[in-house]
Amino acid sequence: MQVYRGLTVGVAKPTPEERARFHYHLVDIRELHEPWNANLHALAARQILATARNTGRRVILAGGTGLYAKTVIYGLDLEPSDKPLAAALEDDWRKNGPGGLTDELRAFDASLAERVAGNPRRLLRTIEILRLTGDAPRWWRNTRQPETAAPEWRQIVLMPEPAHHRQLIEERTRAMLRAGWIEEARDLYAAGLAQAPTARQALGYATIRDYLDGRLASLEALEHALVAQTWQYARRQRTWFRHQHPGAQMVPVEPGAAGRQRLDQLLAACGRR
């Protein structure tokens, strides 16, 4: 989400001072109304990586959605897509519900249909890929044939203990609210965030809109909702990185660890290369 101009506080975008010290890529390259997805991300990242290799520089791919990282690190071929088909499938789902689409997928692979049940977005995308290719999405096929990362990558996952992780989320949420997240969300919705195809999915903004529209009664209720939503997302990410990135090294983040201590842990995990 850091690709979007205007999404700043709520996506923990690097500060101007940080961007003056280090060369960041794929920040502030899209307007709110423009789409962004794992395919576009992988194409852009691969161009950056090719340039870096030619100049002998190393690249750090930090944070973000697990699928986006995996698409780059594992060199996955991009899944096909078809906008008219995707729109037709979504229209079918809205008018008729998931029953017919689920039955279509169940006839192909009952286990896959069960796996995506209850996740409309994944159901629609799975059916789209199935109709375009005659096969299941790659993520499902790879549950039976694990992938391997490209050899130039060294993967490190910072993994706090759950209680500590939630505490960090609580502290960060309060800091982001103090930094103007509510005001930012108000301005972005005035600029059309609700109609943006991808940017509107940024975590937390819809919850802040509920607060602005009076559906959350207090700032305390907003903070509680944001923490709960972020923790739910973090739990999914913890599961993703444990199971979808074979060979990644889990580095524990201890409570109270200072920045220097964390850096030493990372350097040790990297073999100080």
Locate the DSSP E strands across 172-265: 249-253
User: What is the domain extent for residue 126?
Assistant: 83-141
189 with 164, same domain?
yes
CATH of the domain at 113: 1.10.20
183 with 265, same domain?
yes
Whose CA is closest to 213, among 175, 186, 242, 247? 186
Assess if residue 108 is contained within a domain: yes
183 with 88, same domain?
no
182 with 265, same domain?
yes
137 with 160, same domain?
no
pLDDT at 68 over 80: yes
- Final residue before a domain boundary, out of 108, 141, 174: 141
Across residues 70-92, what is the average pLDDT? 85
Give the pLDDT of residue 207: 97
Across residues 58-66, what is the average pLDDT? 84
pLDDT at 104 over 60: yes
> Of the ranges 57-71, 124-138, 143-157, 211-225, which is most confident?
211-225
C-alpha–C-alpha distance, residues 178 and 161, integer Å = 26
C-alpha–C-alpha distance, residues 166 and 234, integer Å = 9
184 with 232, same domain?
yes
90 with 178, same domain?
no
Across residues 17-38, what is the average pLDDT? 93
The residues that bridge with 251 in the sheet, in sequence order, are 158
182 with 263, same domain?
yes
Number of domains present in the structure of the chain? 2
Q: What is the pLDDT of residues 178-195, one digit of tens each?
A: 999 999 999 999 999 999
C-alpha–C-alpha distance, residues 139 and 42, integer Å = 16
Indicate the SS3 state at residue 154.
coil
Q: What is the pLDDT of residues 117-138, one digit of tens each?
A: 888 888 999 999 999 988 888 7
- Final residue before a domain boundary, out of 106, 141, 176: 141
Assess if residue 133 is contained within a domain: yes
Indicate the SS3 state at residue 80.
coil
Assess if residue 221 is contained within a domain: yes
Full-model pTM: 0.76
C-alpha–C-alpha distance, residues 223 and 216, integer Å = 10
